[in-house]
Amino acid sequence: MDNKLVFQLLQCTPEGLTQSEAEARIHKFGPNKLPEKKVNPILQFLSFMWNPLSWVMEAAALVAIVLSNGQGMPPDWQDFVGIVLLLLGNSCIGYYEERGAGKAVEALMAALAPQCTVKRDGNWVTMEAANLVPGDIISIGIGDVIPADSRMVVANNVKIDQAALTGESLPVGKEPGDEVFSGSTVKQGEAEAVVIGTGLNTFFGRAASLVAGANEGMGHLQQVLAKIGNFCICSIAIFLVAEIFVMYPGFRYRYRRGMNNLLVLLIGGIPIAMPTVLSVTLAIGAKQLAEHKAIVTRISAIEELAGVTILCSDKTGTLTLNELTIKTEAVRQYSEVSVDDILLFSAYASRVENQDAIDKSIVESLHDTSLARKGIDVLDFIPFNPVDKRTQVTYRRQSDNTVHRVSKGMSQIILELCTRDMTPEVEQKLHADVDEFAQRGLRALAVAEETVPSGDAEGEGTGFRLIGLLPIFDPPRHDTKETIERAIGLGVHVKMITGDQLAIAKETGRELGMGDTMYKASILNKPDELTGIANSVDELVLRADGFAGVYPEHKYEIVERLQNLGHMVAMTGDGVNDAPALAKANVGVAVADASDAARSAADIVLTEAGLSTIIEAFIHSRIIFQRMRNYAIYTCSVTIRIVTTFSILVFAFKFDFPPFLVLILAIINDGTMMTISTDRVKPSKSPNAWNLKEIFSYAIVYGCYLTLTTLIFFVVVDKTNFFQRHGCKAFTNHNDFSFHSVIYLQVSILSQGLIFVTRSQGFFFTERPSLFLMIAFVIAQFVATIITVYANWGFTEITGAGWHWAGAVWIWDIVWFIPLDFIKFGMAAIIERFAQASSPPAPGEPVSHDQVELARQRTRMSMEAAQNVTRISTIPSRGASYYAPNLHDTVTHRRNFGSRVKNLLTKSGKNLSMDNNELRRLQSTQAQAASRVLTGQH
């Protein structure tokens, strides 16, 4: 099907549509976007009660209302009602906070909606891609993501990356009449195309309908949550089984008495609020990051950002201002061509519309910008691309009707292009000038020209001749040096990855305090040149402060090698050449004003320019991670504390603690812990990572210590008259109802006080908690104290013990609270000693073969845990999918949709790839379908 027939079917022309025609068509075709899958609010609310932890609590409710009866006593409806209220309250808080944070971030994400350039009413305008309709004429260029299925009308040296469609690994050249599909990326050239299909009537739209129900897998945090939950469940299960055997066959307990003790473990040991607390912490964290100009497109990227050890930063636009200026007084000449003419020829080889920074600086260096096209007719223009690294124009001079060709670009590329009047002296002078510019922090842009005697735009020329070298200055941002120092202070090594020349990279590195241990990227593929520099390529990559002359494949390789050495890598970028490395990195960061391709590959999109925003994102992600880690240690510790304390009290003293008091303990405790999501914590000075062995070790030690405090207290009260000598009333036996109240208060104060130890890195009093956490703690313990002093609840076997006992318990718990900090310091020292032995090699250190192999093994394990979750079959990871609803992204994931659909189809067993003939038939079908809609035949 040729383009004439396409225009006829779509009832449009190469001049595009009018605004009124487009508005009429959008009513017929709908917006150019896939239908968003809205989460049912009721299902979202109920999802907080659908995970293994909630199941255990729900089982406890059933035990209370169904199994806890007999012996002339009614079912334990008080515990049943309390458990249901706890579940509902937990869901209400999680639902409210998550919905609120999600809406706030979505509002900010709306500003990043994909844009496109379209011809309306005969003029090129920029608008949201969602407003495209069949028949629109769009303009696409390097770095753009194709916004809709289209047919090429004008193509200028265009190459498209459509690997997700056809499986081709290399970009494919496109000519007028060829098809391009939404989601593919322009890697080279510029073009105009007519839109044929939008929304669901695109290739990827139809693919999406095939995989609408496909499972996208579980995130790393979901697996961490599952393992923590299973640790708690297994702990409870062990002591439940032990209690059953001890109480019934051993002690010959009556049925109802034993059930009450089992309920204590079920209710008190389950950290029912954990999924809610962690999901709310992430949701609020994403909102806070957005307020600091860092929009998270993948919520699990927050925990990964907290663990970044190396930041690979693009230079232009990130470390520098990307506001280029030509130093006209320093232009170098290599022929009789004057400086003014060199600038003019350079302007000929530049775009005058849709300019990049270099073209803009060159055109603006002319005293009259209109001279860039005055007196010439452009016959052919080849725009810049990251592979060829030059532009080229073929033009006819109107004054004498002769045809000429001009090329400008990277000095080495232009030097290889020149064949006329090129002598060793000229080449030596060029290299000397480039080195001089580099030492002064200037980029060099070479210019060459040739004549085309045949007058044909594609005719052979007389050979390019070097005529000039332009010095370009791109000053560093005012805050970059300070920001890099902050990054180093956070334990993050910053590496410069740039396409500029090595000398310029070194000068910039010295100016910014990054170091100047930099190399040409080509050395990565030349191991024989490493002699005297490094023992291996891995060691070179780790030791280097940066690389220059980098191509896209080099960026990808650098990130991959650093990951294989056990490092978490963040990569910043703004152009299409950065997209592969952004997607490969653990955290891809698209800087402000990044191209569509870069944004679609990134996990975090910055809305403010500069490196400082990234460092703020590092700090806030670590704060968020610390909140989650602190809570994880706390909740596991409390589980160990509850199950060991009350099991041992049953085994040793036949102590029957009322399950209703444990329920009150859980309700007050969970309500207090909700405030942890906004707690004031100090970010760690080094990168973070989930270490479950560390968390479980802390939990067991803390839990056992807290158990010890209760057991000693119990023995002192039951076996001595120490407290009675100080004014406290005596108990009739160790199952005295007043004794129940006293044990409740002792467990409540010290258990909840533990959060102040786990949340701090030093002594607990050196780090002030948030006001909300302090108020919640005070209210919770005030209520617990009042219950202990005054409660006379016969149904749950507690009686007020008076103020003397309340005061005694407070003093006891304060005394035993003090050693907790020293236990923390001792545990930290032991864990740090083991961590040093297994940590990845640091930048600047020699890398042994054993270290490399150990790091690669560790990296493979972590990558499998984080990504290939379907391969995990160990018991601790089972059930992770049930936590997914509580940890879903608060915003739509805006990665390249093609890659996403391809991944989903692969998992679902379907094949996405199509050959080119099938793709052409698809577009013919699309055009005919659009024609039927326009004529009202559908």
**Residue 792: C-alpha distances to residues 657, 787, 802, 903 (Å):** 15, 8, 11, 61
Spatial CB neighbours of 638, under 8 Å, sequence gap ≥ 6: 271, 669, 703, 751, 754
Which of 360, 353, 367 has its CA nearest to residue 322? 360
Strand partners, 546: 496, 518
Find out whether 755 and 627 touch, Cβ atoms under 8 Å.
Answer: no
Which of 723, 742, 721, 758 has its CA nearest to residue 649? 742
CA atoms within 13 A on the CB side of 628: 31
Strand partners, 154: 192
Is 314 a catalytic site residue? yes
**Residue 559: C-alpha distances to residues 530, 541, 556 (Å):** 19, 9, 5
Find out whether 506 and 480 touch, Cβ atoms under 8 Å.
Answer: no
* Residues belonging to the chain: 938
Strands 569-573 and 587-590: parallel
DSSP string over 887-910:
G--SS---S-HHHHHHHHHHHHT-
For residue 286, count other CB atoms closer than 10 A to its CB.
29
Residue 422 CA to residue 188 CA, distance in Å, equals: 29
- Structure token pair of residue 758: 């786990």
Burial pattern 881-908, b for ≥16 Cβ within 10 A else e, equals bbbbbbbbbbbeebbbbbebbbbbbeee
Strands 185-197 and 137-141: antiparallel
DSSP string over 710-777:
HHHHHHHHHH--TTGGGTPPPPSSTT-HHHHHHHHHHHHHHHHHHHHHHT-SS-GGGSPPPHHHHHHH
- Structure token pair of residue 103: 């809406």
**Counting beta carbons within 10 angstroms of the beta carbon of residue 269, is it exposed (0 to 12), middle (13 to 18) or buried (19 or more)?**
buried
Residue 302 CA to residue 617 CA, distance in Å, equals: 9
Helices 52-62 and 255-269: angle between axes, nearest 10 degrees: 150
Residue 938 CA to residue 932 CA, distance in Å, equals: 6
Residue 758 CA to residue 168 CA, distance in Å, equals: 52
Catalytic residue among 149, 314, 433, 596: 314
Q: Which one-letter amino acid corresponds to residue 847?
A: V
Find out whether 698 and 637 touch, Cβ atoms under 8 Å.
Answer: yes
Q: Which one-letter amino acid corresponds to residue 688?
A: N
CA atoms within 13 A on the CB side of 820: 33
- Structure token pair of residue 462: 């007389």
Strands 149-161 and 185-197: antiparallel
Q: 3-class SS at 404?
A: strand
DSSP string over 547-589:
EES--HHHHHHHHHHHHHTT--EEEEE-SGGGHHHHHHSSEEE
Q: What are phi and psi of 248, to 5 degrees?
A: -85, -60
Residue carrying the six token digits 């209210």 = 779
Q: Which one-letter amino acid corresponds to residue 40?
A: N
What are the residue numbers of the active site? 314
